[in-house]
């Protein structure tokens, strides 16, 4: 066992969260773990952790010897008029939540560490990125796959856990891993919700108490459309109208999209077949806050 590995196991015993901020240290640490035959599970996040993130971490800990959580608010996935600067941050709290959920390593590089002067390469997201959020947020998914690639290269995980909450992102990341031959399993964990059905999100902190109650209508819209499909409705326009009618009851709402698509390919279909899996997708704005959610219906 190397000195480095001995230190590692020592810190494991005390269960102290090990914080890594440099790419090089993350490389070294991951290489030691791999050389010692340890399974690395990875949960990439932008921080301001909540119960949804904690569930992903716990999921990883069930399978991995070491779970690495990353906290990095990635500037390349934000548009010029988006909330990069005001995105909520609380690193100390993140460390507590990650540690309590079972993570052993917190990887938190700075923007300068990830994108040093002279940085100029980007990864291009695949076809699943060209609809829905890919249209609403130009360049967003290229930023996502670029940072995911960089994080995968540094953390060297055996598997990574992503949330269904960002459904299109899960398909884009699966495509990335398949197309670029990453030897990493992608696991999708279910969406954690507040008691009223609102999907947990770091951005919920922007919402007033009143907005939070109103935003619960998103889940009502998704479940109403899924119920209608269950009762035999197969026409996409009808299913979308059900969602829109419910979403329009939210005061001051701006509906970006309330759409249906084939769950595996994200292709839009006019009339679904009996055996089509469907994803219901919603993006709305409440004031300056953008909220997304989705529900999958299987035959």
Active-site positions read: 53
Centroid of chain to Cα 175: 15
Q: How far is the CB of 173 from ligand AMP (least distance, A)?
A: 8
Residue 13 burial (10 A CB sphere; 0-12, 13-18, 19+)? exposed
By CB under 6 A, is residue 140 in contact with ligand AMP? no
- Here the tokens at position 236 are 């996409």
Note whether 56 binds ligand AMP by CB under 6 A.
Answer: yes
Give the burial string for 42-66 (b: 16+ CB within 10 Å, else e).
Answer: bbbbbbbbbebbbbbbbbbbeebeb
Query: Left if phi > 0, otherwise alpha if psi is -120 to 50, otherwise beta: which for 232?
Result: left
Q: Does 191 bind ligand AMP (CB under 6 A)?
A: yes
CB of 1 to ligand AMP, least distance (A): 33
Q: Quick check: 228 binds ligand AMP (CB under 6 A)?
A: no
- Tokens coding 30: 């991951």
148 φ/ψ angles, rounded to the nearest 5 degrees: -65, -40
Min CB(299)–ligand AMP separation in Å: 24
Contact between 160 and 187 under an 8 Å Cβ cutoff? The reply is yes
Q: Which of residues 159-178 bind ligand AMP (CB under 6 A)?
A: 162-163, 165-166
What string of DSSP letters covers 134-182? HHHSTTHHHHHHHHHHHHHHHH--SEEEEEGGGHHHHHHHHHHHHHTT-
Site stretch for ligand AMP (CB under 6 A), options 32-40, 46-54, 101-109, 258-266: 46-54
Nearer to ligand AMP, 47 or 242 (CB): 47
Which C-beta is closer to ligand AMP: that of 256 or that of 276?
Answer: 256
CB of 104 to ligand AMP, least distance (A): 18
**Smaller CB distance to ligand AMP: residue 184 or 199?**
199
Question: Binder to ligand AMP among 32, 68, 97, 199 (CB under 6 A)?
Answer: 199
Name the residue nearer to ligand AMP (CB basis): 32 or 295: 295
> Least distance from C-beta 129 to ligand AMP, angstroms?
15
Most distant pair of Cα atoms in the chain: their distance: 64
* Cβ(236)–Cβ(268) below 8 Å: yes
- Kindly state whether residue 45 participates in binding ligand AMP, applying the rule CB under 6 A: yes
192 binds ligand AMP (CB under 6 A): yes
* Residue of the chain from 60, 67, 201, 240 that contacts ligand AMP (CB under 6 A): 201
Applying CB under 6 A, the residues found at the interface with ligand AMP are 45-46, 52-53, 55-56, 162-163, 165-166, 189, 191-192, 199-202
């Amino acid at each position: 066992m190397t000195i480095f590995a001995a230190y590692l196991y020592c810190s494991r015993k005390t269960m102290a969260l090990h914080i890594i901020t440099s790419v090089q240290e993350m490389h070294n640490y991951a290489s030691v773990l791999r050389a010692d035959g340890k399974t690395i599970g990875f949960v990439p996040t932008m921080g301001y952790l909540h119960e949804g993130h904690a569930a992903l971490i716990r999921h990883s800990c069930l399978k991995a010897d070491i779970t690495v959580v990353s906290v990095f608010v990635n500037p390349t996935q934000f548009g010029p008029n988006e909330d990069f600067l005001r995105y909520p941050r609380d690193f100390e709290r993140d460390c507590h939540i990650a540690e309590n959920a079972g993570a052993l390593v917190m990887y938190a590089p700075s923007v300068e560490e990830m994108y040093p002067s002279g940085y100029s390469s980007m990864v291009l997201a695949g076809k699943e990125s060209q609809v829905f959020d890919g249209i609403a947020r130009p360049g967003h998914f290229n930023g996502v796959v670029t940072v995911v690639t960089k994080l995968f290269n540094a953390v060297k995980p055996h598997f990574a856990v992503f949330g269904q909450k960002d459904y299109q992102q899960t398909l884009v990341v699966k495509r990335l891993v398949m197309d670029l031959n990453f030897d990493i399993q992608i696991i999708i964990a279910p969406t954690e919700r507040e008691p009223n059905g609102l999907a947990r999100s770091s951005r919920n902190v922007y919402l007033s108490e009143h907005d939070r109650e109103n935003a619960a209508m998103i889940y009502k819209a998704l479940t109403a459309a899924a119920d209608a499909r269950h009762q035999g409705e197969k026409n996409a326009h009808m299913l979308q109208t059900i969602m829109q009618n419910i979403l329009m009851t939210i005061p001051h709402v701006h509906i970006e999209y309330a759409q249906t698509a084939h769950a595996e390919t994200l292709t839009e279909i006019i009339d679904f077949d009996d055996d089509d899996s469907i994803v219901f997708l919603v993006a709305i704005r409440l004031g300056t806050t953008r909220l997304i959610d989705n529900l999958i219906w299987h035959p």
